[in-house]
Homo-oligomer: A and B are copies of this chain.
Amino acid sequence: MSTDKQFYKEHPTFHVAVDSIIFGFDQGELKLLIHKRKFEPAKGEWSLFGGFVQQGESLDEAANRVLFELTGLEKIYMEELQSYGEADRDPAGRVISVAYYALIPAKEFIEAGNSKYGATWVSVKDLPPMIMDHGVMVKKGLRRLKRRAASQPIGFELLPGEFTMPQLQSLYEAIYQEELDKRNFRKKILAMDVLIKLDRKDKSSSRKGAFLYRFDQKKYKKLVNGGYNFTI
C-alpha cells in the first residue's frame, strides 16, 4: 500500500471548490440566488455561492454544507451539473470547481434571501454579469433545468408542498419561458395521475380561489418502477 501512495504522490494536488446555482420561484418568476463577493480578486462583484471542499468530505457533502451555511436549509434538491477545470479560470490560483444546481421550495424562499451573507434573488431573465465562469455555469444550469423539468417531476421542488394549478402552470411557464394553454396543461398533468387534489382552496390570488394539490411521491415512484415516463 505504501508503494501506491508513493505513486499518487508524484502527481499534483488542487484546491477543489463547489459552486451552487440556486434557483427559486416567486411572483411568477424564476430566480437565482447570488451575492457580492467578499474578497479579492473581483471583490464586490456578483458571484454564485461556493466554498472549498474539505478533508473527509465528499463533493455532495460540501455542496450541501455550503448551502446550509448560507441559507440554513437542509434536504434541498441538489444535483451535480458539471465540473469546471480550466487552468486559468480563477486568477488567484488554480481551483477546480464542481457546479451544482439546487432548487429551493417557495416556502423557504424569503428567509434564504434574507441571510446574513447578503444573498440576493435576481430574475433569470435579467442576470447581471458574474465573476469568472459563473455566468457560463448559470446558463448551463438553466438549460439543464429546462430539460429536467420536462422529463422529471422536479418542478415540484420549487413549490410549497401544497400548490394550485395556476401556480404550477406559472412555474412551468417561467422555466420554459413560454406561455402554455391552461386546458391542455391541466389535462396533461392530471392524466399523469401523480397529484392529489385536496378539498381546500387557496384564495390568496383570486376571489373564487383555486383548489390545492399535493404531489404524490409514492404513486410517482410506483409509476416509474412500472416503466412510466413523466413528460410535460
Residues of A within 8 A of B (CB): 1, 3-5, 7-8, 11-16, 39-41, 52-60, 62, 80, 82-87, 92-96, 98
Given A59-B96, A80-B82, check contact A53 B14 (CB 8 Å): yes
Residue in contact with A1 in the complex, picked from B41, B55, B59, B95, CB distance below 8 Å: B41
Number of copies: 2
With the chains together, A61 CA to B9 CA distance in Å?
Answer: 21
* Chain B minimum-CB-distance residue to A4: B92
- Interface pair B54/A8, CB less than 8 Å apart: no
Min CB gap A166→B, angstroms = 28
With the chains together, A94 CA to B83 CA distance in Å?
Answer: 18
Q: In the complex, what residues of B have CB within 8 A of residue A56's CB?
A: 87
- Interface pair B8/A92, CB less than 8 Å apart: yes
With the chains together, A5 CA to B82 CA distance in Å?
Answer: 25
Residue in contact with A83 in the complex, picked from B41, B55, B59, B95, CB distance below 8 Å: B59
* Chain B minimum-CB-distance residue to A52: B11
Min CB gap A143→B, angstroms = 12
- Interface pair B11/A13, CB less than 8 Å apart: no
* Chain B minimum-CB-distance residue to A7: B39
- Interface pair A5/B96, CB less than 8 Å apart: no
What are 10 A-B interface contacts by the 8 Å CB criterion?
A: A4-B92, A4-B93, A7-B39, A11-B54, A12-B53, A13-B15, A14-B53, A53-B96, A58-B86, A59-B85
- Interface pair A15/B5, CB less than 8 Å apart: no
With the chains together, A3 CA to B40 CA distance in Å?
Answer: 8
Q: In the complex, what residues of B have CB within 8 A of residue A53's CB?
A: 11-12, 14, 85, 96
Residue in contact with A58 in the complex, picked from B54, B60, B85, CB distance below 8 Å: B85
- Interface pair B57/A3, CB less than 8 Å apart: no
- Interface pair B86/A83, CB less than 8 Å apart: no
With the chains together, A55 CA to B13 CA distance in Å?
Answer: 8
Q: In the complex, what residues of B have CB within 8 A of residue A39's CB?
A: 3-4, 7
